[in-house]
Structure 1
């Protein structure tokens, strides 16, 4: 269908005198929907962009104890992208973490053409499950930058992957710096 429309446009343009070509833009021949499909922004996705990461809680029961890290299932997470235009809600996507604290967003096609996606988009943890030992006291709706995913970074076949890494929230009690990191322990 797209090829037929392009051929029709080429025939019409070739039939017009040279002076008329400069005054007859494509908008006169095609509807906005057809122009979007021709440009690759139609209903059929021409690319896939995913953003993934994990939300974890670090808990230190008392100074000198082990720093415990566990995943946070059921946390509400958002990817928000700054784009041109007034509708910021349309530039956000929401999901919840799975049973392992992982999240994956498939960004809508309207955000695929955002220049420098890693600079325009951030991940925010909006809400934790009510029974969570961690709290959003770290800074409510703090922003975490995304970066190209080293393991899945490929723009071949229209697939791009980004990661926020592990977002580590801390329990409000003992600062994690006063705890023993598991890798710091020496087994004797």
Structure 2
């Protein structure tokens, strides 16, 4: 014959429920330890999906042109593409130590460049503010010049994003000709 619970069983049930709630509350208030203490930056990038096998692609593109100014008053500026220029994308990342990450490329025969960023930079917050493009070096026979070494930085902006492929662009990077007659 089944055993009957004493009439005080609702009290035991209530006591059991209160004990369970108290135990779960003490577990919820346990200190949360950041993942950065347990994993290296490379492991964190891999956990986030930015490891050896890329889950996304991020490229920066643009065009380097040289402006020729005519000495005649009212004359238009002439521009031509600048092939063979070395271009760099530098991204400032945050973390325990801030570090600069740079990737380089060379312009093609039309002065265009497309530089793919390494996967560890894909998760950089606000990539448009973190990264900039500079023209580092020009071909020796170039009639254009860089002012006092590498050119000033040029910002990037998102031009497309689809299916894990993001494209940023600088547009035209305009350099001036040498100051010769």
**TM-score, normalization: structure 2?**
0.71
Unaligned segments of structure 2, at least 5 residues: 1-23
- Secondary structure, in 3 states, of the residue corresponding to 2:142? coil
Task: Classify 1:83/1:37 alpha carbon distance in 2 versus 1 (closer, same or farther; 3 Å).
Answer: closer
Structure 1 residue 108 corresponds to structure 2 residue 114 = no
2:171 matches 1:165: yes
Q: Paired residue for 1:39?
A: 48
Q: Is the 8 A contact 1:137 1:172 kept in 2?
A: no
CA contact (8 A) 1:135 1:170 kept: yes
Q: Per-residue deviation at 1:86?
A: 4.1
1:51 match: 60
Matches within 5 A, 1:1-188: 36-64=45-73, 65-84=75-94, 85-88=97-100, 91-137=101-147, 140-149=150-159, 153-154=160-161, 156-173=162-179
Superimposed CA distance per residue, residues 111-157 of structure 1 (whole angstroms, 9 cap, x where no aligned partner): 001111111100000111010010002773310011111xxx12x31
Structure 1 stretches lacking a partner, 5+ long: 1-17, 175-188
CA distance in 2 between counterparts of 1:66 and 1:123 reads 27
Larger relative strand fraction: 2
Structure with the higher helix share, 1 or 2: 1
Structure 1 contact 61–173 (Cα < 8 Å) conserved: no
Runs of 4+ in 1 over 6 A off after TM superposition: 18-27
